[in-house]
A and B are shown apart, each in its own frame.
Chain A
């Protein structure tokens, strides 16, 4: 039998008997009265959202809905379910799910609700649903054990994948699965475990796929195969608005194994990320190696469009001139108190300008997509952070019915926001339509670095008024950047929201606060980027707070604590509040750990920064030394407060990883544009930090919390760079106001 338990108006749990005596509990996210499709009556793994399947042999399969980009989401979400049902973690396997889509009169109906990875909100969305599913499974298994153990359900307990009687007799879940699937469902609410009974949540666990990864068995989209697949490699036009001026493909086509040479063009009517990123010529061949040789044999001439005169240096000059002028901002984001009146007070005034470069996403696994296309179906392996967006792109280009499109999402080799755009999926589908075999689209590293939806470079200009008692009376912030949201259906008066947060530190902490944004126009493609808008703003803001401390000739910790003020709740625009006690706490934790009291007397430099976002709090303290021009990061301490921690080891990994990524970016990375062309074409020009440049460990402190869990994948990014720059200032007396740091430091030394 099957039945449902309502979780909310839109989501419910469904119980089914699977094949071979399995019990299946799934979370569905749709109308609860929707008919059960016939194919769900068999063994309907792929028709559920997150689901649990208890097999007769005791194996527990947990289907994971959100793409795994390395944030540990598959592990964490599975452990929430497994804990609630008291599963034996050793017998749990996590299965990544494809996109759940049904045909609702020609429109898509998303079976699993939102499926997205690396956007930092998997955890909050899933928390309640997963626990309910686990609790229901546990309840059913207990009921199934009653007749066999002859003990009433309230006397039975569960643990390690078994139902246990008071006298110690136990029956494994596997033996109970078939019977459990036939139990009538409970009326009313399902009781969830109390936190004191958690056995997995809050305990460390490695990546659930770790064994497969270290043995090379994990398959990314690039590792998937259909039989007899063609490979397409591309040469994109250096200018997104350029055009093909000459193409001679004779030599390429003469190579044995080269099948076709095809020209691709962006559709100007579609938003960025839904069409080809730039004009391109694709070489399709029997194998990657031949396709690459074919591309080398092409004789290509590209003609620049209007963007052919663009340069990142000129754009920065333009931004600086704008910030120094009286021009009205594109948007006045916030204006608390009366900044002009505060400026007239006879008090100390400080000013500084910070410059941050353009950045690429630079995922380890380059853009690629595997497609099998025929008249009635499309099957795709897509490294994506948003299977639904990928579906939209495929549907538009193929005209297939919603459920004729099968989007499969294997583990993804890094996302960072790049894979929320699906230009590469559009390319793959357009090319697959031109051939009668499955096709793999493969971008080489140079294409990947030079054809991205970049993070805009930006300039921050601050001035602060500090009154006699050292309080910051006024904070005036002016930011110029090219919005990531242009062309993406966002109203003009909200384009700032990808660049600045209205509630960012120290908004609400100082009586007079103004935040202005100046939109720059650029033809460089731009899009969502990990940690934005916090990344750029935290660097500028936290550097400036340190500059205030230096101007006041005081310990930056003292300056910070004065600026933060008493423990209290500061309401945020748009809802929520900042809990300053939690901010102070993370600050104290990192300073205590690193031995902050030595900061003035050490030959090494100490730096500090703190930030908050989306209900979570973070601080970094960093210690550096310098010998000549060699900068060594001796220690990096990070404290995070994210509410309830699901997997401490996973969280520690995310915090350490984000810290290192942020340091690597701050130390070395910049995308520069000259004559409209991106100049970085390989890891040599875009050098992620080497082992030697990074600290030996990141000391991670997690604050135990009771609140709802928040995502943590990029929480530790914003404060790493400013803490580093502040530490560098203490050791070298050089204030780095321009990133990347190493280049600027060597220039100023």
Chain B
């Protein structure tokens, strides 16, 4: 009776490397994160629902109002308009990440306190992020620069935010000299 050779193992062919793992790698407030969930999920819901890191607020469906701003590679970006898929390899800073490693306030945060640039406080994280972006681009922002901030506030903290940004810029210059 002839033996059936078909069941015998065949000779291995060349190995095709497959990715070890999928997902999206990024840095958030200095820590490494890996997201394997829905790549279309907006960053805002990842922060708020998945991580329960709630400093970044919901503002509007496409980020109008600016309360959902975060820094992506130093640039103010709407967290609700940014899907996780766009964050691979990126560095993200939320309002919680503005303090230094020892927990000291950034001069901008201190300036917001000193100028009492806070109404109900809900939109404040967004103002801080937009102001950080501005200070990253300009050491000495003019009134016209400050006018370009996209944030909205119903409590009317705008004049105090303006003062806070100027105060922070001055404090950062002082700090750089020292």
Q: Considering only CB atoms, which chain A residue lies closest to B151 in the complex?
A: A691
How many whole Å from B112's CB to the nearest CB in chain A?
5
Q: What does the 1/0 interface line of A644-673 toward B look like (CB < 8 Å)?
A: 000001101100111111001000000000
Q: Does the CB pair A222–B58 fall under 8 Å?
A: yes
Q: Given A223-B54, A416-B154, A688-B152, is A698 in contact with B159 using a C-beta cutoff of 8 Å?
A: yes
How many whole Å from B114's CB to the nearest CB in chain A?
7
Contact of A661 among B45, B95, B109, B154 (CB under 8 A): B154
Contact of A653 among B49, B113, B119 (CB under 8 A): B119
Q: Is B23 an interface residue (CB 8 A)?
A: no
In the complex, identify which listed stretch (A213-221, A258-266, A612-620) lies at the interface while the others stay far away: A213-221
A692–B142 CA distance with the chains assembled, in angstroms: 12
Q: Is A531 an interface residue (CB 8 A)?
A: no
Q: Is A492 an interface residue (CB 8 A)?
A: no
Q: Does the CB pair B118–A207 fall under 8 Å?
A: yes
Q: Does the CB pair A210–B147 fall under 8 Å?
A: no
A368–B5 CA distance with the chains assembled, in angstroms: 69
Contacts of B38 in A (CB 8 A): 289
Contacts of A289 in B (CB 8 A): 38, 41-42, 45, 49
A442–B80 CA distance with the chains assembled, in angstroms: 15
Q: Which A164-180 residues sit within 8 Å CB-CB of chain B?
A: none
Contacts of A363 in B (CB 8 A): 154
Q: Does the CB pair B128–A214 fall under 8 Å?
A: yes
How many whole Å from A234's CB to the nearest CB in chain B?
14
Please report the total number of B residues contacting A with Cβ < 8 Å.
60
Contact of A690 among B41, B60, B143, B147 (CB under 8 A): B147
Interface contacts (Cβ under 8 Å), in number, total 178
Q: Given A653-B119, A695-B159, A696-B159, is A216 in contact with B67 using a C-beta cutoff of 8 Å?
A: no
Contacts of A497 in B (CB 8 A): none
How many whole Å from A454's CB to the nearest CB in chain B?
15
Contact of B122 among A209, A211, A365 (CB under 8 A): A365
Q: Which A414-433 residues sit within 8 Å CB-CB of chain B?
A: 414-416
Q: Does the CB pair B120–A411 fall under 8 Å?
A: yes
Q: Which A196-238 residues sit within 8 Å CB-CB of chain B?
A: 206-207, 209-211, 213-220, 222-223, 225, 231
Among A214, A411, A682, A689: residue with most chain B CB under 10 A: A214
Q: Is A287 an interface residue (CB 8 A)?
A: yes
Q: Does the CB pair B59–A445 fall under 8 Å?
A: yes
Q: Does the CB pair B109–A694 fall under 8 Å?
A: no
Q: Does the CB pair B58–A366 fall under 8 Å?
A: yes
Contacts of B113 in A (CB 8 A): 206, 210-211, 214
Contacts of A206 in B (CB 8 A): 113-114, 116, 118
Q: Which B23-78 residues sit within 8 Å CB-CB of chain A?
A: 38, 41-42, 45, 48-50, 52-62, 64-65, 67
Q: Is A412 an interface residue (CB 8 A)?
A: yes
Q: Considering only CB atoms, which chain A residue lies closest to B103 in the complex?
A: A215
Contacts of B49 in A (CB 8 A): 231, 287-289
Q: Is A474 an interface residue (CB 8 A)?
A: no
Q: Does the CB pair A210–B96 fall under 8 Å?
A: no
Q: Considering only CB atoms, which chain A residue lies closest to B98 in the complex?
A: A215
Q: Considering only CB atoms, which chain B residue lies closest to A658 in the complex?
A: B156
Q: Does the CB pair A660–B159 fall under 8 Å?
A: yes
A172–B13 CA distance with the chains assembled, in angstroms: 81
Contacts of A682 in B (CB 8 A): 60-62, 64
Q: Does the CB pair A364–B159 fall under 8 Å?
A: no
Q: Is A375 an interface residue (CB 8 A)?
A: no
A488–B58 CA distance with the chains assembled, in angstroms: 32
Contact of B60 among A210, A211, A656, A683 (CB under 8 A): A683
Q: Does the CB pair A653–B154 fall under 8 Å?
A: no
Contacts of A658 in B (CB 8 A): 156
Contacts of A698 in B (CB 8 A): 159
A697–B143 CA distance with the chains assembled, in angstroms: 11
Q: Considering only CB atoms, which chain A residue lies closest to B152 in the complex?
A: A688
Q: Does the CB pair B159–A694 fall under 8 Å?
A: yes
How many whole Å from B105's CB to the nearest CB in chain A?
7
Q: What does the 1/0 interface line of A298-317 toward B look like (CB < 8 Å)?
A: 00000000000000000000
A287–B49 CA distance with the chains assembled, in angstroms: 7
Q: Does the CB pair B112–A210 fall under 8 Å?
A: yes
How many whole Å from A197's CB to the nearest CB in chain B?
25
Q: Which A438-470 residues sit within 8 Å CB-CB of chain B?
A: 442, 444-446
A211–B114 CA distance with the chains assembled, in angstroms: 10
A657–B118 CA distance with the chains assembled, in angstroms: 9
Q: Is B123 an interface residue (CB 8 A)?
A: yes
Q: Given A653-B160, A658-B156, A661-B156, is A691 in contact with B61 using a C-beta cutoff of 8 Å?
A: no
Among A209, A210, A661, A695: residue with most chain B CB under 10 A: A210
Q: Does the CB pair A222–B54 fall under 8 Å?
A: yes
A688–B58 CA distance with the chains assembled, in angstroms: 16
Q: Does the CB pair A216–B64 fall under 8 Å?
A: no
Contacts of A225 in B (CB 8 A): 52
Q: Does the CB pair A683–B65 fall under 8 Å?
A: yes
Q: Does the CB pair A414–B152 fall under 8 Å?
A: no
Q: Is A536 an interface residue (CB 8 A)?
A: no
Contacts of A661 in B (CB 8 A): 154-156
Q: Does the CB pair B146–A656 fall under 8 Å?
A: no
Q: Is B163 an interface residue (CB 8 A)?
A: yes
A682–B81 CA distance with the chains assembled, in angstroms: 15
Q: Does the CB pair B52–A688 fall under 8 Å?
A: no
Q: Does the CB pair B65–A218 fall under 8 Å?
A: no
Contacts of A659 in B (CB 8 A): 156
How many whole Å from A650's CB to the nearest CB in chain B?
8
Q: Is A413 an interface residue (CB 8 A)?
A: yes
A111–B8 CA distance with the chains assembled, in angstroms: 83
Q: Considering only CB atoms, which chain B residue lies closest to A118 in the complex?
A: B120
A218–B122 CA distance with the chains assembled, in angstroms: 9
Contact of A657 among B50, B54, B94, B155 (CB under 8 A): B155
A27–B160 CA distance with the chains assembled, in angstroms: 35
Contacts of B143 in A (CB 8 A): 696
Q: Does the CB pair B155–A214 fall under 8 Å?
A: no
Contacts of B147 in A (CB 8 A): 690-692
Q: Does the CB pair A657–B156 fall under 8 Å?
A: yes
A649–B113 CA distance with the chains assembled, in angstroms: 12
Q: Is A69 an interface residue (CB 8 A)?
A: yes
Interface residues of B (CB under 8 A from A): 38, 41-42, 45, 48-50, 52-62, 64-65, 67, 94-96, 98-99, 105, 109, 112-114, 116, 118-125, 128, 143, 146-163
Could you pull out 5 A-B pairs where Cβ atoms are within 8 angstroms? A209-B121, A225-B52, A653-B116, A664-B156, A696-B159
Told that A650-B116, A661-B155 touch, could you supply 11 new A-B pairs with CB distance under 8 A? A70-B120, A210-B112, A214-B113, A214-B118, A218-B121, A231-B49, A289-B45, A653-B118, A691-B158, A692-B148, A697-B159
Sorted nearest first, the 10 A-B pairs with minimum C-beta distance are A216-B55, A70-B120, A660-B156, A413-B122, A657-B156, A223-B54, A216-B95, A683-B64, A692-B147, A213-B121
